[in-house]
Amino acid sequence: MSKIDHEMRVGIFVKQKDFRLVEIDKSSSGQFRINKLIQATIDTKFDYQAIQNDSHLADIGNKIFEILNLFEAGKKNIIFTIESPLAMIKKIPMDDSLSQEELIDHVHWEVKQFSYSPDDEYIVDFQKINAPNGQSSQQIIVVSVREKIIQQLKKLFAAAKLLVKVVELDIFAAIRAIENNYDLKSGEVVSLIDIDSFGMKFTILKDKNFFFSQEIPSSKLGLEKKNLMSVEDIDLARLISRELRRIVQDHQLGDSIESVDRIFLYGDLVKDGVLENLQNNYSLKVDKTNPIRNLFVGPKVHLDEKISSHPEALTVCIGSALR
């Protein structure tokens, strides 16, 4: 979660067979500018199974290398984003009296308690959360990724000849994209909802801090058709409403969806009909995320009709490059 000290950042997000790259620089005045934006399709699906297969990783890495050469994209200062199910995320209480060394030891002990296997080794990062207004308690977000996954990803980076500075999680990249483009208010409860053909991912921010995240695959939504692409807009809106209401109630945020102050929709399957249904049925602000709302787009960057009408699909990638 630590920041990179370079002004030029390159965010890469590969999801299934979709490859996306955004290159952003920051001017001395603090303005972010998009210098390059690439969307392409790769032949081999990038998922957990591919990460475990050296041959598939080599194929994906070689294809990325070809794409970057074709578009003359940089291969340095890369923030490579992976999907959050590949990591473990947990909030734990923190004792303010702990030294930095004691805190690190405590975090590693906690990771071992909720790890998949006692034999696994983990790459761990953590960040303090500001205490909510009126509360003195302190918490930290702990993010851990199995070292085996990172070692496998390094094989992909080697094949693509990428100099990766940070491996990022998609939900934190999405949060960053929204924070840089929208004015979030203190005390608000905000829901970020990632929608694609394979399911939904709900992230809750409370008082500008990460509160909760959960992925719900389409196979667990009680659908006859497991691909959300074929679900009618009104039914998809009902599914979103049902799951968000459950999350709000389970985590004691309120009794209804309207206990949430704002909703941001992003991802590859944000339909206008779903957006309109949510906006018409609830008295809260529902936005289709525009991650380039406050960014300057360089003169050499071509925003085609697909990007212009569906910028929310680039939320994660742009959020990575804004790190």
159 lies in the same domain as 218: no
Whether residue 245 is predicted with pLDDT greater than 50 in this model: the reply is: yes
Q: pLDDT tens digit string along 137-191?
A: 678 899 999 999 999 999 999 999 999 999 999 999 999 999 999 999 999 999 9
Report if residue 35 sits inside a domain.
yes
Q: Would strands 164-169 and 78-82 be described as parallel, antiparallel, or unpaired?
A: parallel
Q: Is the pLDDT of residue 130 over 80?
A: no
94 in a domain, yes or no?
A: yes
> Range with the lowest mean pLDDT among 13-27, 36-50, 222-236?
222-236
Looking at the structure, do residues 278 and 299 belong to the same domain, yes or no?
no
| Cα Rg of the chain (Å, integer) | 20
- What pLDDT is stored for residue 129 in this prediction? 81
Q: What pLDDT, on a 0 to 100 scale, did the predictor assign at position 5?
A: 43
Give the domain range for residue 117. 88-144
Residues 201 and 253 in one domain: yes
Confidence of residue 118 (pLDDT cuts 50, 70, 90): low
* pLDDT value of position 6: 42
Same domain membership, residue 259 and residue 236: yes
Q: What is the mean pLDDT of residues 181-204?
A: 96
Structural domain count, the chain: 3
Q: So what's the pLDDT on residue 4?
A: 46
Is 14 among the domain residues?
yes
Triad 105, 152, 216: Cα angle to 5°: 80
* Contact between 104 and 92 (Cβ < 8 Å): no
In this prediction the pTM is 0.91
CATH code of residue 134: 3.30.1490
Each residue's pLDDT tens digit, 276-303: 999 999 999 999 999 999 999 999 898 8
Predicted local distance difference test score (pLDDT) of residue 131 = 61
Decide: helix, strand or coil at residue 91.
strand
Tokens, residue 113 = 């308690």
Cα end-to-end span (Å), the chain: 9
Residues 311 and 270 in one domain: no
Same domain, 70 and 92: no
Cα–Cα dist 24/185, whole Å: 26
180 inside domain: no
Pair (203, 277) in one structural domain: yes
Instruction: Give the domain CATH number at 72.
Output: 3.30.420.40
Query: Is the domain of 127 the same as that of 166?
Result: no
Which CA distances in Å does 76 have to 164, 166, 251? Answer: 7, 11, 41
State the pLDDT confidence band at 116, using cuts at 50, 70 and 90: low
105: left (phi over 0), alpha (psi -120 to 50) or beta: alpha
% of residues, the chain, pLDDT over 90: 72
Residue 3 included in any domain? no
Shortest CA distance to 206 belongs to which of 75, 43, 60, 91? Answer: 91
Does 1 map to a domain?
Answer: no
Q: What is the pLDDT of residues 226-238, one digit of tens each?
A: 789 989 999 999 9
Residue 52, strand partner residues: none
- State percent of the chain over pLDDT 70: 94
